[in-house]
Structure 1
């Protein structure tokens, strides 16, 4: 792997900002020197980071690559999705393996290992989606934890597909508490939502904007409250995925104020898009243009964005992940032209997360640089058992690093981005700040906007048990 010196940069972690030179040896951070104090030894390569920041590589703890859903499959697989992630400064992902109802957890996990092995540009790990919780699968949870799959996701939404009832959720939480695992919850009351959807369609309300009207924030707030109550009863932590709504956030705030181990993430789409986008009627797709923005939970009124930013500042929200689940408009989102309920739910975001949070968060003064690093790397590493190997800049950690040019300008467009999807939600938007170099375990994989790594360089990472 050799030796690399990153020279002249400003190191930024979740807690510190300082000038330093970093020595990388055989994939690890070997030493941190004062500016210009590196010994006169032979390095294979020196990267000039003058005028730039050096961050730990981004960790996206919520992606859906090569995922069957809604009669189709997410358009990025593990090769294209991780290539796009690398271009945007993300060096590790945690994707979701899925248990098919009636099957063993092992069968679903093996299927996702097969999808990813030998294809990824960056390191990866898995959560396990559970659709059946019974005596057999509860026992399997322990086996998977021993293999580094230390978090399990359950759904209160999608009856008949992914839905788990309260009994299953409670039993999974009890088991997670026993074995040091973490339950991730899609907290949205799916049964009344399905009734609202049926009623809307019966009235001829088929446009994309009805996706948000039939999934009101109270459904998410109730689901979040119930998930926290079940976790409290079970004596286990809980992690609320893709939180979008102000009333749901209040449930997390109340739980954390009582000292409960409740954690939550939000996503860039909820920070930068709104239900106005779902109602778009201008563009190539006319009245169907809003389908580009169909994701679940749905986009909320623009005023709620500030509630989420406040949650990030006060640590009531710990993480920004992407829920990257892209579907092309042509041939995929178009499945829902006659019914918003048939539009595959998901938006592309694995590549644009750091761009958006830097430009719209750090540069606008909404969050500090240190908080930027915390919500995109350190906190997900700690919560999901990757720390301190990943998520920080420290001697002995993996040299997953981003040399970030704070003044680099980039136009977000389907033509300039690398996700395998035929649109960008942020088409034509110019952002300031982006990677000059991206390193994965010490190897430079992105340089001057070009991928220079090798296909399949990414490795499966076993995660440790929940320990916050």
Structure 2
């Protein structure tokens, strides 16, 4: 079916311009003023609105088994919520257990994702190392379109990767034309600080940020950057939350390293006062890692986005209900780590970024879709309004408002870290693969309509496979 979006202002990462956008099937087929369309074409009126590439959330966890439980959102409910917020592609994580085959875990996640309503792709975590992991990394890149590998520097006695694993995996990624990514926190320090707090009887959720201060993140970020620098591999650091980590990234980039940083929407607007709430259920609802930081760090993250040292915005969408969070009511280390946000990211970043003058509309597109598509080799299929690109499009009403609430969200879990925040600038229509999936408050997501996105390797340094 032919669709035409008329009268809007197209916003790409490089420029904004007045144009109609026509789609046929799942592709954009024309961009220009006063386009002629078949009489049978469906017309979407975008006058007074922006027409932007659908958002790419570089960091989600749907259907994740974690800390003895499983997230509330599966791949259908999570991607459907994303579509309602203008996000048309998610990058989720395959996380093998220690000693588990990477390929076995990958196929498990692919099975879970069959019900996705929006497009999806995977980072694959390296949680242990031997020759079989090395071989399977090659198979994932060559046969399954995986070009990024995740390394958790935290979660001791679970999925933490030690330095030997980091070095071996980074080197292998470089050979394959893939990019290593890291969760940067010093897992040993976190563990020791947690034990110290518990011994002192400080068992509530207010202890969570005390066990993960900025210094433990900064140390791990610096270590990962140093390893990448020695091996001459690029590096992507997920959920950068503090000024010290940002400084490490900026310093490395100034020295010519290819280091990329990701900021979470929550870290940009929520501060650590949430952990001091008199309501332990409210405080536990905000437990995620790294934790929310002080306003000083929020300001630094915005500066990082503005200066180009942070490149993407994400959510780390990982939803747990109050009953699941209550597993840690007597021991904060047992609170399942995770918060939602896939539905809210775009509007929160627009409201706190564009409406305040911190970001231009084109910079907004850069940090919500275009950079992600380029860093992870999905561009120009994703991340741009252009002929030949996927018809993943959000028509954005800059004057539309929404008051965020768990009562009206599409995501599961019954809690929203942005509760009560009124945002100005929301999607009026979302198209995914050429179909209207959200229109003026009505969600029309279809289970199983999402497609797996293969991401080709970059030019490898070595021909080894």
Asked if TM exceeds 0.5, the reply is: yes
Name the residue aligned to 2:463: none
Name the residue aligned to 1:428: 420
How far did 1:467 drift?
Answer: 6.3
How far did 1:454 drift?
Answer: 2.3
How far did 1:41 drift?
Answer: 3.1
Name the residue aligned to 2:43: 46
Q: Tell me, yes or no, if the aligned pair for 1:207 and 1:288 is still in contact at 8 Å.
A: no
- Aligned residue among 89, 94, 106 for 2:86: 89
Q: Tell me, yes or no, if the aligned pair for 1:277 and 1:290 is still in contact at 8 Å.
A: yes
Name the residue aligned to 2:150: 153
- Residue 189 of structure 1 pairs with residue 182 of structure 2: no
Q: Tell me, yes or no, if the aligned pair for 2:312 and 2:372 is still in contact at 8 Å.
A: yes
SS at 2:79 equivalent = helix
Alpha-carbon displacement from aligned partner over 1:158-187 (angstroms, at most 9, x marks no partner)? 111011110110110000000100111011
Alpha-carbon spacing, 1:92–1:200, altered in 2? closer, same or farther (3 Å): same
The 5 A counterparts of 1:15-414 are: 15-34=14-33, 37-39=34-36, 41-117=38-114, 119-146=115-142, 147-281=144-278, 286-329=279-322, 331-414=323-406
* Number of residues of Structure 1 aligned to a counterpart in Structure 2: 459
TM-score, structure 2 as length reference: 0.97
Q: Tell me, yes or no, if the aligned pair for 2:8 and 2:49 is still in contact at 8 Å.
A: yes
Alpha-carbon displacement from aligned partner over 1:262-319 (angstroms, at most 9, x marks no partner)? 11101011111111111111xxxx2442111111011111121110000000010001
- Structure 1: 5+ residue stretches without partners: none
Mapped partners of 1:413, 1:466: distance in 2:
41
Mapped partners of 2:105, 2:113: distance in 1:
13
TM-score, structure 1 as length reference: 0.96
Alpha-carbon displacement from aligned partner over 1:124-172 (angstroms, at most 9, x marks no partner)? 1111011112111111111101110111101111111011110110110
Q: Tell me, yes or no, if the aligned pair for 2:80 and 2:445 is still in contact at 8 Å.
A: no
Mapped partners of 1:176, 1:193: distance in 2:
27
How far did 1:102 drift?
Answer: 1.1
The 5 A counterparts of 1:2-21 are: 2-21=1-20
SS at 1:303 equivalent = helix
What value does the CA root-mean-square deviation take over the aligned residues? 1.2
Mapped partners of 1:435, 1:57: distance in 2:
10
Alpha-carbon displacement from aligned partner over 1:418-466 (angstroms, at most 9, x marks no partner)? 1101111122221111111100111111111112242211111101224
- Structure 2: 5+ residue stretches without partners: 461-465
Mapped partners of 1:216, 1:166: distance in 2:
21
How far did 1:93 drift?
Answer: 0.5
